[in-house]
Amino acid sequence: MIYLDNAATTLYKPRAVSDAVQRALQQTAGYARGGYAAAERAGETVYACREAAADLFGLGDPARVVFTLNATHALNLAIHALARPGMRVAVGGYEHNAVMRPLALRGIEPIVAASPLWDGAGMVSAVRRALDEGAALVILNHVSNVFGYIAPLDEIAALLTERGVPLILDASQSAGVIPIDVRRYPCLAAVCMPGHKALYGPPGTGILLAISDEIAKRPLLAGGTGSVSEQMEQPDFLPDALESGTPNVTGIAGLAAGLQFVRSIGPMQMLAHERPLVQEMARLLENEPRVACFAGGDAQAGVLSVRVEGAASETVAEKLAERGVAVRAGLHCAPLAHRTAGTEDTGTIRFSVSFYTNGRQIERATEILRQTVKNL
């Protein structure tokens, strides 16, 4: 199988990840619930992962690394804490339903800072207009899960810092592939990410970098934390304020190994491996008359969407699966991104790579796509 659905989940992980999961499954228990050896190992495992994440993202205090089930969970925690009823909230034009639905649940219709695909200056201008319209919070998809478009974070963050407006960064597709140093962006209130994508951890893991003190004051869930058990109120300190119940220690152990893998290579090197692969695929397809590629050069990470004239995206994906090429088709839980790019009616076929994808696989997948299109 040629696996090209890494924007959903990286299938191939470092061996160290599965080894760490197995070791934790056999040797850890009772996180923050006892003084015996297995409980202490659980605590050490989780704290080591907090330290690794804090180091990778430039966060000085590991206690602000909050473990979640996935990026959606992290985004819900941040949005619940920071997006109040009646607040004007701005979003980029590529947001996932993990942002749009929590806002809708709270009765917030956001200002969409829409701009043409690949137009960084246009996105910055759109955010500026949203601020002029009274936006008091901005939520930004750092890299589009549909098109791989890299938002101009530096310019937008500078604008938000100047205006004193906080930013929730959805790093679902960027964490592990694009360097993120939270110290560079004073406006950052929260960064949300999954563990199971470019951090190479297991499914069921995610991270919220809770930078703003406001996030701990409005927890989404309450319950046992193993701390201050004598009081009925939820603890008001991190990470306990946002981590009720027994954590996924085995998953976090695997995530720690994934983080170590990313740190050993470096996000810039990850991007330097992935970007040329999608650029090469776009080049190989540029003379295919029925195939439209959404290629953005250096504004693009390791995701390439295409459309096939006269064929449903889902049909093409099914045909590719029959030939051993695993991709995703449709709206990718991000209808706003498709509305921005004008693909809402058709969706796209998405090819997404990882550090384990190679050029031979790209060439073969492209040839299979050509043959598939020819036979449709």
110 has a pLDDT exceeding 80: yes
d(CA 147, CA 167): 22
DSSP secondary structure letters along 39-82? HHHHHHHHHHHHHHHHHHTT-S-GGGEEEESSHHHHHHHHHHHH
The per-residue pLDDT for range 302-353, each reduced to its tens digit, is 999 999 999 999 999 999 999 999 999 999 999 999 999 999 999 999 999 9
User: What CA–CA distances, in Å, run from 302 to 144, 225, 344, 357?
Assistant: 10, 38, 21, 10
CATH number of 15-265: 3.40.640.10
Residues of the chain with CATH 3.90.1150.10: 2-10+267-375
The per-residue pLDDT for range 227-245, each reduced to its tens digit, is 887 899 888 989 999 999 9
Q: Calculate ∠ Cα 172-178-182, nearest 5°.
A: 80
Sheet holding 206-210, edge to edge: 65-68, 206-210, 188-194, 167-170, 137-141, 89-92, 111-113
pLDDT at 229: 79
- Say yes or no: domain 2-10+267-375 is CATH 3.90.180.10: no
What residue type is 86 in one-letter code? G
The per-residue pLDDT for range 186-220, each reduced to its tens digit, is 999 999 999 999 999 999 999 999 999 999 999 99
Percent of the chain with pLDDT over 90: 93
